[in-house]
Amino acid sequence: MFLEERRKSILQYLDEHERGYVNYFAAHFNVTKETIRSDLNTLAEMGLVQRCYGGAIISRRSLLAELISETGDSFEVLLQPIYHRKSPSDERQKGKFMQGKVCVFGSFNVDIVAKVERFPRGGESLMALGSSLGPGGKGANQATAASKAGAQVHFVAKVGKDQFSNLAADHLTRSAIHSYTLYQSESEPTGNAIIYVSQENGENMIAIYSGANKTITHNEIQAIIPELSSSDVLLVQLENNFDATHSIIKIAHELGKRVILNPAPYSAEIIPSIPFVDVITPNETEASLLSGIDINDLDTAKEAALRIAELGARKVLITMGSRGALLLDNRQFSHIRAFPAVTVDTTGAGDAFNGALAASLAAGNSLVQATTWASAFASLAVELEGASNMPDFEQANARLRTLRTQEK
């Protein structure tokens, strides 16, 4: 069998079964494992498959099926990257969802969540009311939020070569995220987070081990420049290695893309990157650490925002939970109040806000409009259980309309 015929057969198998393994393909086609690995790597470079430990997973399975049905046996057309194509539903949904493309560079973690009546004291053991294991990480959560908020999203992350790498690929393939680049580390496991969620008030405590998230290389950053070039907004957080984060921020800045930095979890190492950022979105704790000012009300938040602006930030947006959000733009302050919500779990509130903000800005809305819409979106997120569980575009619009009706 010729090389092109073999690769076409591999794609057709993956389209039908979604996942395939090197051992199976080598035996099926009577070739070496090295030959199959080369085939899968080539298909991955074209954006048609995602490499996983021992094999590959189809990229955007429904789109590939559509492509095969449209092009028949034309192998050359079949191997065009499909993540740049629009599905038929894109045109049907035009006007229903926001337009614009967001590139999210960030973390993928496995979240291990324990529900507790209250947070344990030092040295105390508590019986959990329940526990779960699932996908998380600020990057993945924000990419999901931006996608659910209506943007076309390309997500970039890195996992280990362990049992959780399949969880990552399966989650991203089945998610609303349009496309993704998932690298694998040879030395570190997939990142993970231990999360306590208090049933008293929905607040959370989180301990994170970054693992593979901290091993992004220069070459891996360079490889995603085409995706970055076609995006309107870059959204980053601080769960990856800082040299990679700083590098992609500078590249996006040089390309003239709007850069949103969510400085969480806080580290002073990000300060040299701030002059290349368009919007920085700390919460009260992060803003206090950045500015050296203890925030306890709106006035101290304004002082902190001015101090952060002195670090080179063009626009400062401090999220303040139930007190809303404070925006500093061109030395002018705007206070966007919080939307009423019945709090269940605040774990993903910041990620929901940042993802929705990026989606709205990518669609061409003003920063005040985007902040208001993101606040409505985040108010819905805290009513849902789980950091990766996000509302959608229509739900956020409905909440926005409800509040406006009540104000009249």
Which residues are known catalytic residues?
A: 351
* Rounded-to-integer distance, Cα 252 and Cα 46, Å: 22
Neighbours of 119 (CB within 10 A): 14
| Short-list 372, 337, 342, 335, CA closest to 356 | 372
Tokens of 164: 């959780």
347 is in an annotated binding site: yes
Tokens of 156: 């970039």
384 is in an annotated binding site: yes
283 is in an annotated binding site: yes
Cis peptide before 265 (omega within 30 of 0): yes
Q: Taking the chain, what is the end-to-end CA distance rounded to the nearest angstrom?
A: 71
Mind spelling out the 3-state secondary structure of 50-81?
EEECCEEEECCHHHHHHHHHHHCCCHHHHCCC
170 is in an annotated binding site: no
H-type alpha helices, 280-342:
284-291, 298-310
Contact 137, 163 (CB under 8 A): no
294 is in an annotated binding site: no
137 is in an annotated binding site: yes
351 is in an annotated binding site: yes
139 is in an annotated binding site: yes
345 is in an annotated binding site: yes
146 is in an annotated binding site: no
**Pairing verdict, β 109-116 and 315-319:** unpaired
* Rounded-to-integer distance, Cα 242 and Cα 263, Å: 11
205 is in an annotated binding site: no
In the annotated binding site for ATP, the residues are 283, 319-324, 350-351
In the annotated binding site for K(+), the residues are 345, 347, 381, 384, 386
In the annotated binding site, the residues are 109-111, 137-141, 239, 283, 319-324, 345, 347, 350-351, 381, 384, 386
In the annotated binding site for substrate, the residues are 109-111, 137-141, 239, 351
